[in-house]
Chain A
Amino acid sequence: MRPDASKKLAAVTPKKGPNPVIIGAVVAVVVILAVVVAILVGRPDSSGTAGNSTPVGVTGGKGGGIFVNSDTAKSNAPTLDVYEDFQCPGCAQLEAKVGAELTSLAKAGAVKLVVHTLSFLDDNLKNDSSSRSANAAACAADAGKFLEYHGAVFAAQPPKEQEGVGYTDAQLTEFAKTAGITGAPLTTWQKCSDSGQYDQYVTDVQDASSRAKINNTPTVKLNGQDVTQTVQTPEALAAAVKAATK
């Protein structure tokens, strides 16, 4: 009697239907390719084609904020870093509450005021108003009118329920006029704003702030200490600044 070879035969005979190993390999390759493509597409372009120019007053290296009052700041004045997004409702509220006090402290030289204009809300709101207005404000810094421009933008921020409406180009120009930029400087400002001259700088500011774990706006730092929650009134702001002055 011949030995029964049916088991051996069954083992070498290909099963019907496709091979799971091949399908698994194909799927794995598709997943890996998709991941690589997603990372390449998602990764921000760091080549910096838009030029590496920075506006007047940038301090603290690449992606640093704009030192608004370098002309008046006293040498013993504490540094006040403000991180804001022009589309952030909380930032407009803070500006409404303490903006005037902040401006007068800066004009008096009682603080070294450094403003970091963030643009992350563009991603959340799916528009480009944060970076466009940040670029426009940086252009205003060149005209020596950063704070004025900054105030004009926040004063015109759409109400909270309309967050995401953003700013038109005509509005950005309107803000420049409100800030008191006229004549030849206005022409220069317009060119700077239209061309997105400081787009790369705005991206760098966002990147540098994210790396510094600034995950929330507004964030106010006094000599590096987060004081956002304590400086919600003009009096509290003035007192905190006074206490930090050596």
Chain B
Amino acid sequence: MDLSGGGRRADLVGLLARLVLGVVLLVSGGLKVTSPAVSARAVRAFQILPYDFAGYVGYALPVVEILIGLLLIMGLLTRASAAVGGLLMLAFLVGIISAWMRGLSIDCGCFGGGGTIGAAETQYGIDVLRDAGLVACAAWLVVRPRTAFSLDHRLFG
């Protein structure tokens, strides 16, 4: 490992990015995985994907989030995991902005729940900021996947 100041510090930034993205994915997937029907309805509420396909996405999403979250926390296959996690976040970002622009009143269902809510209860701004931050974490890791305390480093040198 490069122990000179700059590289070491960048490794720590990478560690932070990895843990933030990983923990958010793990938690959001964990909160949703026990209620597949709710997750499916949350995806359908965006009114972007066809009804049946939206259902499949809703069933699969929590599992994918948990697995990618675990990989990131362990630092295993960091670049690939971050790429998948980042693409997920980009998709969520597009979905949320699209729902916002179409004037839908929905809860993004990001951490469970979801579906139609009162217009005053929507919080698209916060959702967009959070997801944009997570996309930034993913982008860092794709560009510079080397991070401190990673399994990648232990296994592959």
Contacts and interface: CB of A to CB of B under 8 A. Distances in A.
Given A31-B67, A215-B45, A23 B76 contact: yes
A215 B41 CA distance: 9
Task: Name the 9 nearest CB pairs between A and B, nearest first.
Answer: A42-B59, A42-B36, A123-B37, A216-B116, A215-B116, A38-B63, A35-B60, A39-B59, A123-B38
Interface string B63-93: 1100110010000110010000000000000
Contacts of B47: 213
Contacts of B33: 38
Contacts of B115: 120, 215-216
Nearest to B57: A39
Contacts of A213: 47
Interface residues of A, dominant DSSP? helix
B51 A210 contact: yes
B113 interface: yes
Contacts, number: 77
Interface string A32-47: 0011011101111000
B36 A20 contact: no
Nearest to B60: A35
A30 B77 CA distance: 14
A38 B56 CA distance: 9
29 contacts: A15-B156, A17-B157, A18-B155, A20-B156, A23-B77, A24-B77, A30-B67, A34-B64, A35-B64, A38-B33, A38-B36, A38-B60, A39-B59, A39-B60, A42-B36, A42-B39, A42-B40, A42-B55, A42-B58, A43-B55, A120-B37, A123-B35, A123-B37, A123-B38, A124-B35, A210-B51, A211-B51, A215-B41, A215-B116
Interface residues of B, number: 33
A120 B44 CA distance: 13
Nearest to A219: B116
Contact of B62 (A24, A38, A126): A38
Contact of B38 (A17, A18, A124): A124
Interface string A113-148: 000000010011010000000000000000000000
